[in-house]
Amino acid sequence: VFDQDRLSSIAMRMAVDVASLSRGDQDRLSSIAMRKATSRGRLLGLVCLHACAFACAQRASTDPAPRVPADVTASLGSELDGDLDGVPDHVDLCPRTPGVSPDGCPPIDRDDDGHLGHQDRCPELAGAADDGCPIPDIDDDGVPDSEDRCLDTRESANGYLDGDGCPDVVPRDLESITGVIRGVDFELHKDILLARSLPVLDRVAAIMLKYPGTRFEISGHVDASSEPSYGRDPSQRRALAVKRYLVEQGVAEDRLYARGAGPDEPIDTNKTAAGRAKNRRIEITLLLSDDLITQNDERRRRGAPPFAR
């Protein structure tokens, strides 16, 4: 049984600590006190006593041995809960860190998949499913078994039909519009396409339209002799000029990504006119699906090899 006069005395001494807390922490203290209290008389005392314990826990980072008033300890007895996680300090394995597990420690995400502790049914295996377990993928090709038409063979991650789970080869005509696109030329130091470039891009557009499920990166490149003011921005503008033309021919804009590489990715020497001419170019790359890109990023983060092209 708590003595009301004693609780009032403690409350007055703890008033400074309570006032220094944020509104959210004050609400949390009140909520905890409400759960623990069985009468209105005990509520005031428990709020103040928990506020004291919270203040002591907050000081733990600078004071390795925070002092809790003896009368507070005596009043709470085994119910002293320094981190306010509902687990008494005498059984709390992490008395300075709030936790929700029975031992009073914060939940741990062992497999680093975003699913914590008891929420993770597969704590040693990273998973994207709601239960923390990997989505079944028997051939480990990035295509879930429920969507995989070839369960025993791996998908060829090459940007072509990547969602069916079956090995495949990029068709020759589609492959022919990837890499350096010869014959795409611009006016000197400008992003204006020369007339002789248009038939080349017409063919590129026709093949892209033949394979509507594909996506492409268009990268512009310049040689190292370009003036600093010319540099990367014109390579971006040239890539955008090619993209605009392809869109005008009917290719969906969201299938095309323009990138300016500047002079940073040469394919030949910059010491000769012929080499510099080769370095000024447009390249097209067949892109993986968004899903495979996301999965590859996740696999790299975990140290696993990405799905190969």
pLDDT digits (tens, 9 = 90+) for 257-273: 999 999 999 999 999 99
Pairwise pLDDT comparison (202 vs 131), residue with the higher score: 202
- Give the residue-averaged pLDDT of 196-211: 96
Question: Is the confidence at residue 160, as pLDDT, over 60?
Answer: yes
Q: Is 192 exposed, middle or buried (0-12, 13-18, 19+ CB in 10 A)?
A: exposed
Pairwise pLDDT comparison (252 vs 146), residue with the higher score: 252
- Give the residue-averaged pLDDT of 8-29: 56
Question: Is the confidence at residue 80, as pLDDT, over 60?
Answer: yes
Question: Is the confidence at residue 307, as pLDDT, over 70?
Answer: no
pTM of the predicted model as reported, rounded to 2 decimal places? 0.52
Measured distance CA(308)–CA(290) in Å, rounded: 15
- Average pLDDT of the chain is 71
Q: Give the 3-state secondary structure of residue 219.
A: strand
Angle at 93 between CA 126 and CA 37, to 5 degrees: 110
Question: Is the confidence at residue 302, as pLDDT, over 80?
Answer: no
Question: Is the confidence at residue 244, as pLDDT, over 80?
Answer: yes
Q: Given this model, what pLDDT does residue 256 score?
A: 95
Q: Which of 40-49, 58-67, 132-141, 173-182 has the highest mean pLDDT?
A: 173-182
Pairwise pLDDT comparison (86 vs 101), residue with the higher score: 86
Which range (227-231, 234-238, 279-283) has the least confidence? 227-231
**Taking a C-beta distance cutoff of 8 angstroms, is the pair 109, 54 a contact?**
no
Pairwise pLDDT comparison (7 vs 31), residue with the higher score: 31
Q: Given this model, what pLDDT does residue 79 score?
A: 62
Measured distance CA(128)–CA(131) in Å, rounded: 8
Measured distance CA(60)–CA(63) in Å, rounded: 5
Question: Is the confidence at residue 305, as pLDDT, over 80?
Answer: no
- Give the residue-averaged pLDDT of 27-39: 53
Pairwise pLDDT comparison (224 vs 52), residue with the higher score: 224
Pairwise pLDDT comparison (148 vs 41), residue with the higher score: 148
Which residue's entry shows tokens 């914590």? 116
Question: Is the confidence at residue 68, as pLDDT, over 90?
Answer: no
Question: Is the confidence at residue 106, as pLDDT, over 60?
Answer: no
Q: Given this model, what pLDDT does residue 184 score?
A: 96
Q: What share of the chain in percent tops pLDDT 90?
A: 30
Q: Which of 58-67, 132-141, 216-225, 230-239 has the highest mean pLDDT?
A: 216-225
Q: For the CA atoms of the chain, what is the radius of gyration? A: 33
Pairwise pLDDT comparison (210 vs 61), residue with the higher score: 210
Q: Which of 27-31, 61-65, 104-108, 178-182 has the highest mean pLDDT?
A: 178-182
**Taking a C-beta distance cutoff of 8 angstroms, is the pair 159, 214 a contact?**
yes
- Give the residue-averaged pLDDT of 89-109: 60
Dihedral-angle region of residue 108 (phi above 0 means left; psi in -120 to 50 means alpha; beta otherwise): beta
Q: What is the dihedral of CA 184, 189, 190, 193, to 10 degrees?
A: -20
